[in-house]
Structure 1
């Protein structure tokens, strides 16, 4: 027996993620699923697992960011696979029900409901290849400083630029990166951005 687009029914193994999902109430799981859909539609830059984790903990659920990230990754995989194969909510339920690590019935109902309500927009995005698949820049900051000690500056009291970027990866997990550049390095960096701007003006 095959599903939509000729895909065979293959079990989805969620491993220990199932145990984490079991601890999440239906209303919070629904909100998580909706954020994942919004991320896949590029309506939000990422699923903010840190903020959600704090809300979950405030509701008395013992969960850490790394565990919540696993849930986001698992459900993102479910939705992206369903979109690529144009699964109906019934077909999605069947595949979830046949998974090796069976999800709780309540969780399947939540995922099915969210997919039934918003899945068609994701399927349309999949047809247009508009599903978020790469990291997105969420925040970009810089500051000028004076070196006290550095491996790259030849002498002390040399100016340097500190760059801080916040990026959401393909799963929606947010990470922050900080790095330093000498003034010549920053000038080269700036020139590359100017070249990009010129190219974009011709598009």
Structure 2
């Protein structure tokens, strides 16, 4: 599978998944290679769960293409504030450096029910509190355009993953700019739905 896939949009990738031109497993291979090439320089995705992702992708592929949900097998990283069953969730804090939840957050369950394949957790400041993405557990996430600059926060890991081709779509959260600022700093789009509406 060509590394040119990293330049595709999320919508184009979902179209390829629905048409059968690409499989979730092939996309995971592309992402794993890209992360090895890039993430050491920017530190956006400190927690990887490719074994879990491949298991879930194989189960999803047992369904007909039209029954795989809106995302149809699209790999998605989850911010390291949100529980993913069986995957480390530190919230960027030494207090939770060994925390592995048994159950996923409802949002993750909904994403996976709609065809998302979770393969990584994105870096965040401790408890998501901060406009710059760094913590004592994993260190700083760096701006991909200039690694001497901030990627903003608190969804800095998510934005950097998008900007560097380590994700086509990334989950984050935002109460005071935590999606919007990293998106602006990294040259990607961050969408914050109205609270209570979505």
TM-based fold match above 0.5: no
* TM-score normalised to structure 2 length: 0.26
Higher helix proportion: 1
* TM-score normalised to structure 1 length: 0.26
